Amino acid sequence: MKILIFCAHPDDEVIGMGGTIRKFADAGAQIRLVHFSAGNEGYSSAAEKSEICAIRARETAEVCRILGIAEYVNLQQKDWSIEVDHSTCRTVIAQIREFRPDAVFTHRHADYHDHMNVHQTVTEGWFHAPLACAMEDAPVWRPVPLYEFEVITLFPQPELIVDITAVMAIKLKAMAVYASQTGVVGGAIQMLEGRALLRGQSIGVRHGEALIRSAMRPRAIADIQALVNS
């Protein structure tokens, strides 16, 4: 089982699906995390500016260790300038085809600018990865599910809730590692606690994380049993 995660900045993966990542790791999955930006605008004091990317890289390395992420890529784009263009789209296709994941995860559209653009670029790349194009990058990969997680804007009606009760403490521990972001986004731990309680309650467990499955490519139902068991 191989899992590929695209997000804009270091910490989005913990906020959106830190518990889910750790559950995948516990289930033996091979996990790759791709950050579009090194987080160049995420400093808390002018003094920190020149070091912030290095600081966040160290934090990310520790978070990967905690969550069980074996492979990490940073696309080195700049905050507020993440582009939806040919080159980034090709990069997403290449990542998918080279890693050959069983599922892909990224931002939902309804969020702020950088998250919207990552959403759109990843969706384009994911849609084209199983089509005959961009073929010199790597062999065409099969269609796999694309899931979207919530970071800032709440989903009004999420369709999937992952039970993360057993790994909630680890999610919070990972978030705490991103200490450089505490001064930037206030109350991150509180937000994670509140959201996990709320999402968990909707399925009758203590802590949960919400996902929506992209419907851009519909899912084929060959065996009718799938409608009942899923």
* Least separation in angstroms between CB 221 and a second copy: 4
| 185 makes contact with a second copy (CB under 8 A) | yes
User: Which of 38, 137, 130 lies closest to 87 in space, CA to CA?
Assistant: 137
Query: Are 57 and 180 a contacting pair, CB within 8 Å?
Result: no
Dist CA 158 CA 168 (whole Å): 19
* Least separation in angstroms between CB 116 and a second copy: 9
User: Which of 104, 19, 34 lies closest to 67 in space, CA to CA?
Assistant: 19
Dist CA 93 CA 71 (whole Å): 17
| 5-13, 58-66, 67-75, 181-189 -> range binding a second copy (CB under 8 A) | 181-189
Dist CA 162 CA 80 (whole Å): 30
Q: Which is nearer to a second copy, 70 or 197 (CB)?
A: 197
Q: Distances in Å between the alpha carbon of 185 and those of 42, 94, 152, 155, 188?
A: 9, 32, 11, 20, 6
| 186 makes contact with a second copy (CB under 8 A) | yes
Window 117-146: residues binding a second copy (CB under 8 A) = 120, 124, 127-128, 131-136, 144-145
| 4 makes contact with a second copy (CB under 8 A) | no
* Least separation in angstroms between CB 130 and a second copy: 10
Task: Give the x/- contact pattern for a second copy in 85-124, rule: CB under 8 A.
Answer: xxx-xx-----------xx------x-xx------x---x
Task: Give the x/- contact pattern for a second copy in 19-38, rule: CB under 8 A.
Answer: -x--xx-xx-x---------
* Least separation in angstroms between CB 89 and a second copy: 4
Residue 190: CB atoms within 10 Å: 9
Which of 147, 168, 174, 175 forms a contact with a second copy (CB under 8 A)? 147
Residue type present at position 26: D
Q: Distances in Å between the alpha carbon of 50 and those of 44, 117, 125?
A: 11, 25, 32
| 76 makes contact with a second copy (CB under 8 A) | no
* Least separation in angstroms between CB 155 and a second copy: 8
* Least separation in angstroms between CB 173 and a second copy: 18
